[in-house]
């Protein structure tokens, strides 16, 4: 059998491994000339140990029968129909690349940005088309980050770290320079519910209390729990640990040496982003849980002066032309990884990762998810629903190349990898990310030198 996987992030690579373990040949397509998806363009660059997962993922390309097919966009360079004709089955693992909206007044003012854009910028995503943060950040003293998940914590940390704390990361040089010269001294983290409902994890939360120059500020009032939240801590160990850390911080004596502050605002729901031609502030309504456990507006209002609002309220999947899509959830409907059209599976079409189950979980969650999808695919093959070799004998990669499309294979990726490491080594660090697509393609076309 030969299977096409669309997306070379963790889900795509875990799916390729699980298929290849059973002797299946796999082509892994990616619109970018480099692999690893959110491990490269999502995981914060200062989280070196999480980012090092890429070393494990990278081994997949050494397997017989697994190919990287980079710089090919499905939906543009080839269609899903092309893939279905050329392969026995297709697994869609293209993730959730869009952002969720707040739905409040002023959300589209200049200076109100999506965390997905900020993350794409600081990780050096090629073709980045969002706000020019290099310029924008130079006017920013105070920032509000909306949402209390791990992405929000990443954004707060990146904005609050000193230049020395970021210097060793693989962020592109222009990003490091812009962050170092930004005059940010105040970052507000805004959660619409309480500390017991925050979705960040304790390890990530704790890092905010260990920064060289930034001090965490939190009021005891924001940490008061209603009875049901307090009771929920018994079963929710992560939430209990989070509340413990936050409570310790609330009791800490102020630091004399802090250059900047990270202020937590719980029970604070964004009501409007304010400003006439650009963001100047954020209006918040104070919330509380009522006796039924519903979050309600208490009628109290708060305003914070900020120059930048970063909306970090979750990622969202995008539809692919001709593929069923659940617009309310931003995912492809499925049953055990089989793509569903209505209540019927589409023969030979599968889904895994964030575009299957939504933007949740850690990297490892995608392994279980991909393995489930591959099990469904192999069951279908066993049952005769997918016939190996029963498809038109097309070699899509040769077809693309004969049309003049530059397809980046593993040799090309390895050349980029080597060049990035060499650029990092010159600066005494592991790597510098190359962010420009033309430069990536130029490097990918260079022959690999022996070590």
Q: Which residues bind ligand NAP (CB under 6 A)?
A: 102, 146-152, 154, 191-193, 197, 199, 204, 270, 312-315, 359-362
Shorter beta-carbon distance to ligand NAP: residue 89 or 271: 271
Q: What's the closest the beta carbon of residue 44 comes to ligand NAP, in angstroms?
A: 7
Shorter beta-carbon distance to ligand NAP: residue 78 or 148: 148
Q: What's the closest the beta carbon of residue 320 comes to ligand NAP, in angstroms?
A: 21
What's the start-to-end Cα distance of the chain, in Å?
35
249: left (phi over 0), alpha (psi -120 to 50) or beta: alpha
Shorter beta-carbon distance to ligand NAP: residue 239 or 323: 239
Shorter beta-carbon distance to ligand NAP: residue 155 or 323: 155
Q: What's the closest the beta carbon of residue 398 comes to ligand NAP, in angstroms?
A: 38
Q: What's the closest the beta carbon of residue 9 comes to ligand NAP, in angstroms?
A: 12
Nearest to 144 by CA among 272, 291, 24, 239: 272
Contact 32, 60 (CB under 8 A): no
Shorter beta-carbon distance to ligand NAP: residue 183 or 361: 361
Contact 183, 140 (CB under 8 A): yes
Q: What's the closest the beta carbon of residue 38 comes to ligand NAP, in angstroms?
A: 8
Q: What's the closest the beta carbon of residue 43 comes to ligand NAP, in angstroms?
A: 7
Q: What's the closest the beta carbon of residue 267 comes to ligand NAP, in angstroms?
A: 11
Q: What's the closest the beta carbon of residue 96 comes to ligand NAP, in angstroms?
A: 9
Shorter beta-carbon distance to ligand NAP: residue 36 or 413: 36
Q: What's the closest the beta carbon of residue 204 comes to ligand NAP, in angstroms?
A: 5
Shorter beta-carbon distance to ligand NAP: residue 367 or 418: 367
Shorter beta-carbon distance to ligand NAP: residue 33 or 195: 195
Q: What's the closest the beta carbon of residue 270 comes to ligand NAP, in angstroms?
A: 6
Shorter beta-carbon distance to ligand NAP: residue 267 or 413: 267
Shorter beta-carbon distance to ligand NAP: residue 131 or 147: 147
Question: In whole angstroms, what is the distance from residue 159 CA to residue 219 CA?
Answer: 22
User: Whose CB is nearest to ligand NAP?
Assistant: 149
Nearest to 330 by CA among 168, 116, 183, 137: 116
């Amino acid at each position: 059998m030969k299977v096409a996987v669309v997306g070379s992030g963790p889900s795509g690579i875990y799916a390729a491994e699980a298929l290849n373990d059973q002797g299946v040949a796999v082509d892994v397509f990616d619109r970018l000339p480099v692999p690893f998806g959110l491990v490269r363009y999502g995981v914060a660059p200062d989280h070196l140990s999480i980012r090092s997962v890429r070393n494990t993922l990278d081994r997949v390309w050494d397997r017989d029968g697994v190919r990287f097919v980079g710089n090919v966009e499905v939906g543009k360079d080839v269609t899903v129909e092309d893939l279905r004709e050329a392969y026995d089955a297709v697994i869609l693992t293209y993730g959730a690349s869009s952002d969720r909206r707040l739905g409040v007044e002023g959300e589209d003012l200049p200076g109100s940005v999506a965390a997905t854009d900020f993350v794409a910028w600081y990780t050096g995503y090629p073709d980045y088309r969002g706000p020019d943060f290099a310029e924008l950040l130079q006017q920013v003293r105070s920032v509000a980050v909306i949402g209390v998940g791990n992405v929000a914590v990443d954004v707060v940390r990146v904005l609050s770290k000193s230049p020395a704390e970021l210097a060793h990361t693989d962020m592109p040089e222009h990003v490091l320079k812009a962050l170092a010269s930004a005059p940010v001294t105040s970052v507000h983290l805004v959660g619409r519910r309480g500390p017991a409902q925050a979705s960040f994890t304790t390890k990530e939360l704790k890092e905010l209390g260990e920064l060289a120059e930034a001090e965490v500020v939190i009021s005891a009032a924001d940490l008061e729990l209603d009875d049901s939240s307090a009771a929920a801590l018994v079963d929710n160990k992560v939430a209990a640990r989070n509340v413990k850390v936050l409570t310790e911080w609330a009791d800490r004596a102020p630091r004399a040496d802090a250059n900047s502050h990270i202020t937590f605002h719980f029970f604070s729901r964004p009501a409007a982003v304010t400003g006439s031609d650009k963001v100047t502030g954020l209006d918040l309504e104070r919330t509380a849980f009522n006796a039924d456990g519903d979050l309600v507006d208490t009628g109290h209002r708060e305003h914070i002066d900020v120059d930048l609002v970063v909306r970090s309220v979750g990622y969202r999947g995008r539809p692919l032309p001709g593929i069923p899509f659940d617009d309310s959830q931003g995912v492809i409907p499925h049953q055990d990884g089989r793509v569903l059209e209505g209540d019927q599976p589409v023969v030979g079409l599968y889904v895994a990762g964030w575009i299957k189950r939504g933007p949740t979980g850690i990297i490892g969650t995608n392994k279980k998810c991909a393995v489930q999808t591959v099990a469904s695919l192999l069951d279908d093959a066993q049952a005769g629903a997918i016939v190996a070799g029963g498809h038109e004998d097309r070699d899509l990669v040769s077809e693309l190349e004969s049309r003049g499309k530059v397809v980046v294979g593993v040799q090309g990726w390895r050349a980029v990898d080597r060049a990035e490491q060499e650029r990092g080594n010159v600066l005494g660090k592991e790597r510098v990310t190359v962010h420009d697509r033309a430069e990536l393609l130029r490097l990918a076309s260079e022959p690999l030198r022996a070590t």
